[in-house]
Structure 1
Amino acid sequence: MMMADVEEVTVVVAHNERATLRVGDVFLKVDSDQARIDVEVEAMRLAPVPTPEVLWRKPPVLAIAAVPGKALGRLGEPSPASPA
């Protein structure tokens, strides 16, 4: 992805320990605790379900790709997914 191709940056979540930004199809997680990022990357590696690809890590930032597929829902909106 070229930065010129980015139309917007969205703050997904932010608090005093971590901020997660969406830039195009990339999520940037900025975390004050490198150990927390290490645990998250290991958990994604071990998970038996699809997880985002780790694109790069340069403390304090972790860059991950968006998981392909259709979203099951969005925060604050009703889910379009079937209850089944």
Structure 2
Amino acid sequence: MVFTGRQMYRKWYLCSNSFTDWFKKNNIEWPWRLVAFQRLNFTTSDILSCIKESNIIGIGGAGIVYKAETQKPHALVAVKKLEIRGRR
């Protein structure tokens, strides 16, 4: 089990570095940006209104990812609704 975890980490680490190197080599910015929640200028209700089936952009082991488009300020963000074990 430790060996499998080590192999998975190694693969992630190598792939992660190759993406970073590619963006640096081609002088391209990352297509996304990570922003601390405290610095965002929209309300909880702005986000909750976007949590609907038509806005699903992905489903993973930790939950469902939704596209959320806010009006003031205009922003397009991805929001992950985390699952509680045994429920959605």
Greater fraction strand: 1
Using CA pairs under 8 Å that are at least 6 residues apart, name the structure with larger relative contact order, 1 or 2: 1
Greater fraction helix: 2
Place the TM-score, normalised by the shorter chain, in its bin.
under 0.3
**TM, length-normalised to structure 1:** 0.27
Choose 1 or 2 for highest CA Rg: 2
